[in-house]
Structure 1
Amino acid sequence: MVQASSLTSADFFLKRWTVDDYHRMISAGILTPEDRVELLDGQIVEMAPQDPPHASRIDDGGDYLKALFANRAKVRVQLPITLAPGSEPEPDFAIVRLDENRYRDRHPQPQDVLLLIEVSDSTFKRDGSKPALGGQRTHKAQIYARAGIGEYWIVNIKKRQVVVLQDPQDGSYQSEQTFTKNDQIAPLLLPDVVVNLRHLIL
């Protein structure tokens, strides 16, 4: 007989939820906005609470990006994007194609996404990569790469760096570059819009 204390998640077959399942739970009131969860690879994952530095970067960064991309793209702040069949993450910033009517009946999908940005502190392992470990890819970066999201930035608050991941192939990003607060960079799909990273990091 297996002792209960020795069981791990590896001993079970976990049900993987689809995006449709997830939406039905929300419609039925099983999941509410207060739950602060997102669907990642078929699993309902609790989002980390926001400390003041993280919340400040979201607030100020959102204002900056909305002004910067005005009339060029829509900036969605901590709202869902649908990555079928089993992921519906809520990235801190999703820069998507500018079409108000497109998102009234559905969330943005991979073909709508121009750039994703996550602000990371305690969630850095889950959100992105760790260049010090040879560019190890982790959960969200893998999900975005598999979905074909062409560019993903991770703002590392503690190190005051921005990790830029590009060129998704076979479920991982082939290009990884690290920038500092003094750098200015332009997204691949909006090359004439230059982002001053100081406004995202500080």
Structure 2
Amino acid sequence: MLLGSGTIADYLRQVLVGKAWIREAHPIILSNSEPEPDIAIVKLPRSKYFQNHPTPQDIFWLIEIADTTLAYDLSKKKEIYALENIQEYWVLNIKKQELTVFTQPENGTYHVQLKLSAGIVKPIAFQDLEISVAKLFEK
């Protein structure tokens, strides 16, 4: 069974209960496009998105689950999200079981890149939370 966004999203829902809404494969509104990230962690209340998709100001961070899309997720999508000032962007490399975290967007690039294959990650928006890298890759 290939790891899907559902397993990851379910884990994030447990960790972020009452703090954020987890959206799977739904559009977000950017200045020139409406991409559908695999997972978007957005501000509450959930009802805010019944009529409109989230904009960059609503987004805590975005996650792409990369199998066949790794090159695109690490290049074009990263650039698009950085240009829109998305503060944090994660790419889960399924084949290598590696999480890449991008932060500090400026002028179409992220200035900080962190690669993890174990341990914990603390999202910028929720420094009090610890997300297990291993659990992100559980099947």
Q: TM-score range by the shorter chain?
A: over 0.9
* Equivalent position of 1:163 in the other structure: 100
TM-superposed CA distance for 1:199, in Å, is 1.5
* Equivalent position of 2:59 in the other structure: 113
Larger radius of gyration: 1
In structure 1, list runs of 5 or more residues that go unmatched: 1-51, 129-137
Which of 174, 183, 202 is residue 119 of structure 2 equivalent to?
183
In structure 2, list runs of 5 or more residues that go unmatched: none
Which of 63, 75, 79 is residue 26 of structure 2 equivalent to?
79
The CA RMSD measured in Å over matched residues stands at 1.0
* Equivalent position of 1:147 in the other structure: 84
Letter of the 1:79 partner, please give it. H
* Equivalent position of 1:62 in the other structure: 9
Displaced runs of 4+ in structure 1, greater than 4 A?
A: none
Letter of the 2:81 partner, please give it. Y
User: Matched residues in 2 for 1:88 and 1:58: separation?
Assistant: 19
User: Matched residues in 2 for 1:57 and 1:198: separation?
Assistant: 14
Q: Please state if 1:90 is matched with 2:36.
A: yes
User: Matched residues in 1 for 2:46 and 2:121: separation?
Assistant: 27
Letter of the 2:61 partner, please give it. L
- TM-score of the two chains, using structure 2 as the length reference: 0.95
User: Matched residues in 2 for 1:87 and 1:166: separation?
Assistant: 21
User: Matched residues in 2 for 1:166 and 1:197: separation?
Assistant: 17
User: Matched residues in 2 for 1:100 and 1:94: separation?
Assistant: 12
TM-superposed CA distance for 1:104, in Å, is 1.7
How many corresponding residue pairs?
A: 138
Tell me if the contact between 1:73 and 1:95 (Cα under 8 Å) persists in the aligned partners.
yes
- TM-score of the two chains, using structure 1 as the length reference: 0.66
User: Matched residues in 1 for 2:129 and 2:29: separation?
Assistant: 25
**Sequence identity, in percent?**
36
User: Matched residues in 2 for 1:57 and 1:154: separation?
Assistant: 13
User: Matched residues in 1 for 2:120 and 2:128: separation?
Assistant: 12
User: Matched residues in 2 for 1:169 and 1:127: separation?
Assistant: 18
* Equivalent position of 2:70 in the other structure: 124
Q: Please state if 1:104 is matched with 2:50.
A: yes
